[in-house]
Structure 1
Amino acid sequence: MNYTSFCAELQGHDSELDGDKFDVVVCSAAYHHLESIEATTGVLAFFLKPGGYLLVVDFTTSDKVIPEDVPNRFGFSKDQICAAFEGAGLIEVDFEQLSSARFHGQTVDLFLARGKKSS
């Protein structure tokens, strides 16, 4: 099995990444840093092969502020994430609580969201 990772500013164009598409795209603890989760979800979904999965792990909505200067300091609800995934054309969208973790000295709840690109 061949595993590859990339670090690039992607826009979702066929000319990017030599036209490669992926079986799985993972984004962990980054969504809370994003101005537009809808735009980013669309770009990530663009790079999936038909039948491929987008997996996102991040903070669940809380009344406790995430102790960072980021756009989404209160995390995300199931409705927000599902809307972004469905807006990007993903199907079989699933959102589940993962666990709690310590982050900058406070307890935060994490979710795992999964969506599939239609075949």
Structure 2
Amino acid sequence: MAAEYDLKPAFVKMNAQVTQAIRDRLEWIGVDWISDEDKPEDGKEIRLLDYAAGTGVVSRALGPYVTHTLGVDISPGMVNKFNEHARKAGLDPSRIHAIEGDLCSDPPTVSFTEMPSTNFDIAVVCAGFHHFNDTELATKRLAERLKPGGVLLIMDFLTPSGEDGKVPDEVKHMVKVFGFDEPTMRRLFEGAGLVDFDLWIMPEKVVLEREKDGEMMRREITVFFAKGRKPAA
């Protein structure tokens, strides 16, 4: 999907919605972001880990507010697109780049284990959690990458009300969990040792599309943002 991901109308709209939601809630997220008042000579650094980064939607949304961004994805195609976007924007690879890696393999892939383990002010997974085989392990390993006081932010899909949560057979190869609810997210965050858990539901639904039997199926999905903080001590 990497070559066409940024061109699909449904993804274009969803990415715009997510970008606006993130930027509107910077204060709620709770990171000491870079601002216009901060001078380069002051040496302030804010580091972002964009995991399951895709083509870099979150990295572009938060780019003006951080100094360093590392994208990580298991797909080499997505990693290439991420870095292509960054280079076309004239951004220095020392400030933003993506690597291929798997946080949830056992052990994590070499490229990922070479990263500093307690380096990031914020780690974000945007619409990736429902693809993970082991969300508990993923949450713990992301939390390990945060510095004390760092924030984990997860954006994903709310479990549809009144549905049994069964994943359709035709998407089981890529969708492992059919949405999440607040108690589940709280349990995952607290199980990873994170505190100050909060969850916000985006008022505007997003529309997902997939082709089935030659027809384009459209579905409205409710999106949430969940956050937690690594204790400072």
**What's the TM-score once normalised by structure 2's chain length?**
0.46
Contact 1:66 1:75 in 2 (8 A): no
- In the TM superposition, residue 49 of structure 1 has moved relative to its aligned partner by 0.5
Aligned residue type for 2:145? F
Aligned residue type for 1:102? V
- In the TM superposition, residue 3 of structure 1 has moved relative to its aligned partner by 2.2
Higher helix share: 2
Name the counterpart of 2:227. Answer: 114
- In the TM superposition, residue 21 of structure 1 has moved relative to its aligned partner by 1.3
- Write out the 4+ residue segments of structure 1 that deviate beyond 6 Å after TM superposition: 64-67
> Helix, strand or coil for the counterpart of 2:102?
coil
> Helix, strand or coil for the counterpart of 1:83?
helix
Q: Which runs of 5+ in 2 are unaligned?
A: 1-65, 73-100, 210-217
Between the two proteins, the alignment pairs up a number of residues equal to 115
Q: Deviations over 1:44-72 (max 9, x none)?
A: 00000100000000000112767733110
Name the counterpart of 2:145. Answer: 47
Name the counterpart of 2:68. Answer: 3
Distance in 2 separating the partners of 1:66 and 1:110? 17
Contact 1:100 1:110 in 2 (8 A): yes
Aligned residue type for 1:92? D
Aligned residue type for 2:149? G
| 1:60 and 2:165 correspond | no
Aligned with residue 28 of structure 1, among 96, 121, 126: 126
* Structure with higher RCO (Cα < 8 A, 6+ apart): 1
> Helix, strand or coil for the counterpart of 1:96?
strand
Name the counterpart of 1:93. Answer: 197
Distance in 1 separating the partners of 2:193 and 2:116? 23
Cα root mean square deviation, aligned: 1.9
Higher strand share: 1
Distance in 2 separating the partners of 1:47 and 1:65? 32
Q: Which runs of 5+ in 1 are unaligned?
A: none
Aligned-residue identity in percent: 34
Distance in 1 separating the partners of 2:227 and 2:120? 15
Distance in 1 separating the partners of 2:167 and 2:219? 9
**What's the TM-score once normalised by structure 1's chain length?**
0.87
